[in-house]
């Protein structure tokens, strides 16, 4: 007897779908569960390899190009999906990440850089979740929202403060989503990764041998499995939670365990 994750008949929007990242893995796992995927990223080149992967698995996937740094484009996403595909059952907001120019102390962080990081890691999720909830409530439909946070939100985020702040805000806002929209059958949860073995990250790690090597890294599929589970009916009793998926990495460090500013300059 099996207990499968079943997303047959469900349309899932995944924001941020690069093949070698969490989003690409999430798309592949959703496809294995039978869900139909709307794969969103800012460039077709980021979407096409994941489309190939999903189609090779026999899944159904539709590309959607939008720049999540543009508020106007963000506000068009959910209405476009309902107009074009007629339904939407779940959302995985995966897009985000640290930006090269934010790895500095807070007192040296430019204002524009701060707000760009918040848009990339937090603000767009508000717009998309708000618009989806509004549409579901109007149609008397249930839905599941999964927003990707980070272990950088758990204590402090030295040298990448805007990122940690944005991810902490995701957890806080997601709990409010769960509280306000729960009566309508809408669930909202946060998945917080630690160090994830994406293609981009591992290229840097292998060059620098940071964080003690590759054993501390969570596989992208492990995040994809968690997100897919939370999108499914098997997770109907889970809402308003932040689920850390990091192979216990966050138990091994704390905010005070960081290099000094002098050491940072010497790196």
The tokens describing 245, both together, are 């998926």
Buried b (16+ CB within 10 A) or exposed e, 90-104: bbbbbbbbbeeebeb
Give the contacts of 117 (CB within 8 A, at least 6 positions apart): 98, 99, 102, 162, 163, 166
pTM of this prediction? Answer: 0.91
Q: Which pLDDT does position 204 carry in this prediction?
A: 57
CATH number reported for the structural domain that contains residue 104 in this entry: 3.40.50.720
- Report the pLDDT value the prediction gives residue 264, as an integer from 0 to 100: 60
Confirm whether 5 is domain-assigned: no
| 6 within domain boundaries | no
3-state secondary structure of 42: coil
| Spans of the chain, pLDDT less than 50 | 255-256
- Total number of domains constituting the chain: 1
Residue 209 inside a domain? The answer is yes
Domain limits for position 81: 11-266
75 falls within a domain: yes
What pLDDT is recorded for position 256? Answer: 46
Please list, in sequence order, all residues whose beta carbon lies within 8 angstroms of the beta carbon of residue 122, skipping any fewer than 6 positions away. Answer: 166, 167, 169, 170, 173
Alpha helices by DSSP H, 86-123? 111-118
Question: Is there a domain that residue 1 lies in?
Answer: no
Instruction: Give the residue from 132, 148, 126, 121 showing the smallest Cα distance to 22.
Output: 148
Q: Is 3 part of any domain?
A: no
* Residue 15 maps to a domain: yes
Residue 102 falls inside a structural domain: yes
């Amino acid at each position: 007897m099996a207990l499968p994750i079943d997303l047959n008949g469900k349309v899932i929007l995944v924001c941020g779908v690069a093949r070698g990242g969490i989003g690409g893995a999430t798309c592949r796992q959703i496809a294995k569960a039978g869900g139909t995927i709307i794969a969103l990223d800012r460039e077709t080149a980021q979407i096409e390899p994941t489309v190939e992967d999903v189609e090779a698995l026999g899944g159904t996937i539709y590309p959607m190009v939008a720049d999540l740094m543009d508020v106007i484009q963000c506000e068009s996403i959910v209405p476009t999906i309902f107009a074009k595909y007629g339904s939407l059952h779940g959302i995985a907001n995966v897009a985000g990440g640290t930006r090269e120019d934010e790895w500095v102390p807070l007192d040296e962080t430019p204002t524009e850089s701060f707000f760009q990081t918040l848009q990339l890691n937090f603000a767009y999720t508000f717009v998309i979740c708000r618009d989806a909830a509004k549409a579901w409530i109007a149609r008397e439909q249930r839905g599941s929202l999964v927003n990707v946070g980070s272990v950088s939100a758990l204590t402090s985020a030295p040298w990448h403060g805007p990122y940690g702040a944005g991810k902490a805000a995701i957890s806080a806002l997601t709990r409010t989503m769960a509280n306000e929209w729960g009566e309508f059958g809408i669930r909202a949860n946060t998945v917080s990764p630690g160090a994830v073995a994406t293609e981009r990250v591992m290229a840097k790690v292998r060059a620098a041998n940071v964080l003690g090597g590759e054993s501390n890294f969570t596989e992208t599929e492990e995040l994809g499995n968690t997100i897919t589970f939370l999108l499914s009916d098997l997770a109907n009793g889970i809402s308003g939670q932040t689920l850390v998926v990091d192979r216990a990495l966050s138990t091994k460090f704390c905010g005070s365990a960081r290099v000094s500013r002098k050491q940072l300059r010497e790196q």
